[in-house]
A = this chain, B = another copy of it.
Amino acid sequence: MAEERVLPPVVARMWGREAVSRHGPRPSLDAARIIAAAIEIADTEGLPGVRMSSVASRVGVATMSLYRYVGSKEELLTAMVDAAVPEPPELGGLPWRDYLVTWTRANRDFFLARPWMLLVARLTPPMGPRSLRWLDRALAALADTGLDAGERVNVASTLGGYALSEATFVHGMSSEREVGGDAGVAGMAEYSEVLAEVIDPEGYPELFAAIHSNAFGDAAEWVGDDDFTFGLDLLLDGVETLIARRTTA
């Protein structure tokens, strides 16, 4: 089976498929310890705090020693994201819709708990053991719905994308951001003010109306759970429609 060749190096490492060597001193570390250290730094100092040097000094080695285990910083970041993904919620015989609600919410929540993931995720499809476990559970929830495999994967991807979108939006609106950097806006209230300052009724009639009917301002708390369940219900209603179609057909 020389087919492991097709695995990109990050993927191999995420799955613990590192080549073991018999010669030389035993390695004093493994990739997992490095990744864990990097995650701790990202959690406390944010993503910019994750430097090869800072990670190295946290695990107690020289900077360059990391490259024996991770290949590049990009690789490290990718591995961090997967390692930071928790176990998906247990599907305890719940109806598909109930499970997918908690699944999607939990999905959004771990992004919110570790905002730095938002900046790294997206770049590549899920290939790590923990991300894929989430996919597996969503497929399981949809097992008895009559949808075919492709459709189920599609639904799961859409829900995952929604969780990520929502997390990014909510995080962007929360006041204590460190991500967007300097030039951003702190919170929905301020966002609303900026829009009000800038939007004119000729160019943006509907938006102007929405702003002045306080569609934004009303809901500084809007950024809570309400709009999340709103959009989620949109999606799940759609899924329900699809299932109904498949069942009658």
Using a CB–CB distance below 8 Å, which chain A residues touch chain B?
3-4, 6-11, 15, 71-72, 74-75, 78, 118-119, 122-125, 127, 129, 132-133, 135-137, 139-140, 143, 148-155, 157-158, 161-162, 164-166, 168-169, 172-173, 179-185, 190-191, 193-195, 197-199, 203-207, 209-210, 213-216, 218-219, 222, 227, 230-231, 233-239, 241-242
CA of A122 to CA of B172, assembled, Å? 8
Q: How many copies does the complex hold?
A: 2
Contact (A139, B206) CB under 8 Å given A7-B198, A165-B164, A169-B157: yes
Residues of B within 8 A of A165 (CB): 158, 161-162, 164-165
- In the complex, the answer to whether B197 meets A75 with C-beta atoms within 8 Å is no
Closest to A222 in B: B150
Closest to A140 in B: B206
- In the complex, the answer to whether B234 meets A169 with C-beta atoms within 8 Å is no
Can you list 11 A-B contacts (CB < 8 A)?
A129-B198, A129-B203, A136-B205, A140-B205, A148-B215, A150-B222, A152-B215, A161-B168, A233-B242, A237-B238, A237-B242
